[in-house]
Amino acid sequence: MENEIRSILLQIGENPDREGLKNTPKRVKKAYDFLTGGYKVNINTLINEAIFEEKTEGIVLVRDIEMYSLCEHHLLPFYGRAHVGYIPRNKIIGISKIPRIVDMYARRLQVQERLTDQIANAIHEVLNPLGVGVVIKAKHLCMMMRGVEKQNSELFTSCMLGEFKTNSVTRNEFLDLIRTGAS
């Protein structure tokens, strides 16, 4: 990858041997290794047996999970907040695992629509809950810095499964919790 980054620097008219750019190919490779590290994560290893039997019936919600990803169309960042909720069916997951699942999928080349679905489907597969809801609000630098150049635009995506999809009362409770944090 370092040779390719050096080539890109040459193609945009830069001197990759000047002091400020000498180690840039190495730094870019290291950054991309981190930013795409989600490809190397296995969901079962990530969860690490942190699923527990528990009889509870309310919505479990982790909101305002910071997330950073790379748009697969321009390799530019998009960033925002994910809100992930589920209704247990006698099983719960360690709460730190939910942001880790968000990171696992966000640290891949992505489109926000797929990212939202992947998070919801992963939680559905490992827990088999009564319902899962995921809402992501993000800003895309590919829209802000280039193209339409709309700095204040935000993209909202959602994926509702089970009770969140079929029961409007449950869905509205979930969305109200995201908006207000009140029960």
- Domain CATH number, residue 97: 3.30.1130.10
Residue 134 · residue 83 · CB < 8 Å: yes
Question: Is 83 tagged catalytic?
Answer: no
For 35-55, what is the mean pLDDT? 96
Catalytic residue among 71, 83, 159, 163: 71
Same domain, 83 and 8: no
pLDDT reported for residue 181:
60
Q: Which domain holds residue 105?
A: 45-180
* Each residue's pLDDT tens digit, 60-111: 999 999 999 999 999 999 999 999 999 999 999 999 999 999 999 999 999 9
Handedness of CA 173, 64, 155, 151 (dihedral sign): positive
Question: Is 112 tagged catalytic?
Answer: yes
Residue-wise burial string across 154-179, b where 16 or more C-beta atoms lie within 10 A, e elsewhere: ebebbbbbbbbbebeebbebbbebbe
Same domain, 139 and 116: yes
Catalytic residue among 4, 54, 66, 72: 72
Same domain, 15 and 99: no
Same domain, 77 and 161: yes
Looking at the structure of the chain, the number of domains it has is 2
Residue 104 · residue 84 · CB < 8 Å: no
* Residue 74 within any structural domain of the chain: yes
Same domain, 113 and 23: no
Catalytic residue among 2, 14, 124, 142: 142
C-alpha separations of 171 from 31, 85, 98 in Å: 38, 10, 19
Same domain, 117 and 152: yes
For 164-177, what is the mean pLDDT? 97
The span from the CA of 86 to the CA of 158, in Å, is: 13
Question: Is 53 tagged catalytic?
Answer: no
The number of beta carbons lying within 10 Å of the beta carbon of residue 40 is: 11
Q: What percent of the chain has pLDDT over 70?
A: 98
Catalytic residue among 2, 14, 74, 124: 74
Residue 72 · residue 36 · CB < 8 Å: no
Catalytic residue among 83, 110, 118, 140: 140
Same domain, 26 and 62: no
pLDDT reported for residue 183:
47
Question: Is 159 tagged catalytic?
Answer: no
The span from the CA of 135 to the CA of 101, in Å, is: 14
Catalytic residue among 66, 73, 151, 154: 73
Q: Give this prediction's pTM.
A: 0.94
* Each residue's pLDDT tens digit, 109-148: 999 999 999 999 999 999 999 999 999 999 999 999 998 9
Where residue 180 falls among pLDDT bands split at 50, 70, 90? confident
Question: Is 124 tagged catalytic?
Answer: no
* Residue 40 within any structural domain of the chain: no
Arithmetic mean of pLDDT over the chain? 96
Q: In the structure encoding, which two tokens stand for residue 166, read together?
A: 């079929």
Q: What percent of the chain has pLDDT over 90?
A: 93
